[in-house]
Structure 1
Amino acid sequence: MTTIAQLRKAALALPETEEGRHFGMVAFSVRGKGFASLAKDGCVQLRLSEDDARAALAVHAGAEAVLRSGATIGVRLALAEANGKDLNALVRAAWSNRAPKRLAAAMDAADATGDLPAAIGRPATRALLSAGIDTLERVARHSEAELLAMHGVGPKAVRVLKEELAGKGTALRA
């Protein structure tokens, strides 16, 4: 059984997501464009592309299409009936559908992390990828101070990177 806390966690983990209210419902938006909301009856409404909506309707028997002017603009399903993994994927798809193209592309690029360890966290991964550092080999070309100077890369991320590099028999540049 999925809860509003899980919905909130999934939505707020995505870049530039804000929580607010829309017609009395808890709602999540990216740069002012709503992508998910929770009605008082416990149903979550997600703004999805037509293809993503069709796929969600095929997988979730209790889901309903959300229509506007005869076109499918998303799905509505009981939050309690969605498992957490499916909800995370649907929230991510809805966010991608409504986020600016550059922001969505940057998030997709951050998911294709080469051999960067997931343990460094998403902010550090995004910071490294935006600097063109997508492998541990490229991380090793930088000093600890250079990495820490990047917005999003903190002491924990540097510690994890140093451990990964040590495991491969290399280290950060001095």
Structure 2
Amino acid sequence: MTTLSQLRRAALGLPEVEEGTHFGLVAFSVRGRGFASVTKDGQVRLRLPDTEVEAAVSAHPTGERILRAGALIGFRVPLADISGKDLNALVRAAWFRRAPKRLASALATADTGVTAEASDLPAAIGRPATRALLGAGLTGLAQVATRSEDELLALHGVGPKAVRILTAALAEKGMSLH
């Protein structure tokens, strides 16, 4: 069973996501293009590619297709009926569908966990934390310094150990977290 806070964490952990409302619903968008929302009765609505919709319908019997003017546009399922892992995957798929191509490409590259050669992110933070930071557009320590500890911990893949390592690396350069 998942909650709105888990959905919020999954969505806001992706680059350039904003939370707002759409017709009174909690909604998430990337550069103004909505990709996820939650109805008042606790159903998450995701804008997904057709193939992802069919896979989601097969995997989640309480879910259903969303049609608009006869065209398949997404998938909806009660938050209580989906696991956190499945929700994270569906939120990412919805984000990739709605994000601009360059931004989606940057996140796909970040998902490989390979840092740019000029990046000064410490390797000791680990691949999950590196992917999370790169996925959030934080490619170097100077960019990490613009975030607070809580903001970093909110990124899926960044834990207390990674924050300690980043804090120490920032201190070595005379910087600190925001």
TM-score category (smaller protein): 0.7 to 0.9
Unaligned runs of 5+ in 2: 116-122, 147-163, 170-178
2:20 aligned partner, one-letter code = G
Which of the pair has the greater relative contact order for Cα pairs under 8 Å at 6+ separation? 2
Q: 88, 113, 132: which one pairs with 1:122?
A: 132
Whole-angstrom CA distance in 2 between matches of 1:75 and 1:11 = 16
The alpha-carbon deviation at position 157 of structure 1 amounts to: 3.4
Asked if structure 2 preserves the Cα contact closer than 8 Å seen for 1:20 and 1:26, the reply is yes
Match of 2:144 among 152, 159, 171: 152
Report the TM-score when normalising by structure 2.
0.71
Deviations 1:16-51 (A, max 9, x none): 000001111100000000000000011010000111
Which residue is 2:109 aligned to? 109
**CA drift at 1:121:** 6.1
Q: Deviations over 1:54-76 (max 9, x none)?
A: 11111111111001122211001
Q: TM-score, normalised by structure 1?
A: 0.73
Task: Work out which of the two has the higher radius of gyration on C-alpha atoms and give 1 or 2.
Answer: 1
| CA-CA distance at 1:127 after TM superposition | 4.5
With over 3 angstroms needed to count, the CA separation of the structure-2 counterparts of 1:120 and 1:157, relative to structure 1, is farther
Letter aligned with residue 71 of structure 1: A
Q: Do 1:42 and 1:78's aligned partners in 2 also have CA atoms closer than 8 Å?
A: yes
Amino acid of the structure 2 residue aligned with 1:86: D
| Alignment partner, residue 83 of structure 2 | 83
Percent identity, please: 52
Tell me by how many angstroms 1:124 deviates: 5.1
> What is the distance in 1 between the residues matched to 2:27 and 2:141?
35
1:97 shift after superposition? 0.5
Unpaired stretches in structure 1, ≥5 consecutive residues: 129-146, 161-174
The CA RMSD over aligned residues, in Å, is: 2.3
